[in-house]
Amino acid sequence: MTILDGKKTSNDIKDEIAEAVKALKSKSKKTPHLAAVLVGTDGASMTYVNAKVKACERIGFNSTLIDLPENTSEENLLENIEKLNNDNDIDGFIVQLPLPKHIDEQKVLMAVNPDKDVDGFHPINVGKMTLDLPCFLSATPFGILELLERYKVETSGANVVVIGRSHIVGRPLSILMSQKRKAGNATVTVAHSRTKNLSEITQKADIIVAALGIPEFLTGDMVKEGVTIIDVGITRVPDETKPRGYRLAGDVHFESVGKKASFITPVPGGVGPMTIAMLLKNTLLACQRNNN
Ligand code: NAD
């Protein structure tokens, strides 16, 4: 069994990006600049945003954090987005989700200039992605493709089952893996909450991507020998033995599934760090485009 080490791979990618930043600086070109908008004080969102800002520092990007209170109006948030859209120094920015309930998430995502939408959530980027046109790929699916490719997991002709049909993971990944591309050319089945007899489907899969948000949902009896497992889930499960009072659990029961898998991502240290690395990669691409 080989661990698909997202931590190591993401560090390799960050080193490559840092080299590219050095090259830009040595030619007196613009330094990549990523901004993040955080609304409220949700613990997980704050952790994610801080990790993104810290990663920028490490690789030589400029970063800006716009921290707005929980009760920020939709109008104020949209004004901040407009400023970022018009700021020529910002190459890309993200609005950390989820947003407080009084704010229309769709309206906010639509307000982001697609050329700065390094999360790849704007309908223009999603549309381009489905048509296989150059665009920002959303970071989590992009990271999963990169991990599969770097570990040379064979996807061409493989039977892939993606569990979960969310707009940010399951849906785009299922489209990407079915396309004629690296880490693609697979025969993809999308399973969701209404899927019947899921075990029968997963038992035939060469590759399973679990992205449903139910801790340790996929168990050893649901998979075949030699399967490749991508565990996207991250859930905080209460655990009083831990200093923070919780542990992070994936959607896969690692112990039982790991015994049968040929490749498997751990949680933490699998898909999570790859997501951040690919966000940085998208920002670098945006900056390189702005430099030309
Ligand atoms: P979501 O919560 O928006 O949707 C869950 C999906 O799972 C739905 O499509 C639903 O149909 C499906 N589902 C629910 N119960 C099911 C069942 N019993 N059988 C089959 N399918 C079922 O999903 P999301 O936003 O993609 O998040 C999924 C998980 O991935 C969460 O734990 C989230 O925290 C995590 N996540 C991790 C990263 C990362 O960087 N590692 C990024 C995004 C999301």
Concatenated DSSP letters of 135-174: -PPPHHHHHHHHHHHHTT---TT-EEEEE---TTTHHHHH
Report the phi/psi class of residue 152: left, alpha or beta, with left for phi > 0 and alpha for psi in -120 to 50: left
Quick: pLDDT tens for 103-149. 999 999 999 999 999 999 999 999 999 999 999 999 999 999 999 99
Chain-centroid distance of CA 267 in Å reads: 14
Quick: pLDDT tens for 174-225. 999 999 999 999 999 999 999 999 999 999 999 999 999 999 999 999 999 9
Atom from ligand 1 closest to the CA of residue 192: 21
Any atom of ligand 1 within 6 Å of the Cβ of 193: yes
In angstroms, what is the span from residue 122 Cα to ligand 1's centroid?
19
In angstroms, what is the span from residue 212 Cα to ligand 1's centroid?
3
Quick: pLDDT tens for 245-264. 999 999 999 999 999 999 99
Q: What share of the chain is helix, strand, coil (3-state, %, to 5)?
A: 40, 15, 40
Residue 284 amino acid letter: L
Quick: pLDDT tens for 51-97. 999 999 999 999 999 999 999 999 999 999 999 999 999 999 999 99
For 217-232, letters b (16+ CB in 10 Å) and e give bbeeebbeeebbbbbb
Tell me what pLDDT residue 292 has: 83
User: SS3 sequence, 91-110?
Assistant: CEEEECCCCCCCCCHHHHHH
Any atom of ligand 1 within 6 Å of the Cβ of 266: no
Tell me what pLDDT residue 122 has: 97
Any atom of ligand 1 within 6 Å of the Cβ of 230: no
Any atom of ligand 1 within 6 Å of the Cβ of 165: yes
Retrieve residue 175's tokens: 């489209």
34 within 8 A of 61, measured Cβ to Cβ: yes
CA distance 148 to 142: 10
Tell me what pLDDT residue 81 has: 98
- What domains lie within the chain, and their CATH numbers? 28-113 (3.40.50.10860), 139-272 (3.40.50.720)
In angstroms, what is the span from residue 289 Cα to ligand 1's centroid?
33
70 within 8 A of 62, measured Cβ to Cβ: no
Any atom of ligand 1 within 6 Å of the Cβ of 207: no
Q: Which are the catalytic amino acids?
A: 52, 96, 119
Tell me what pLDDT residue 251 has: 98
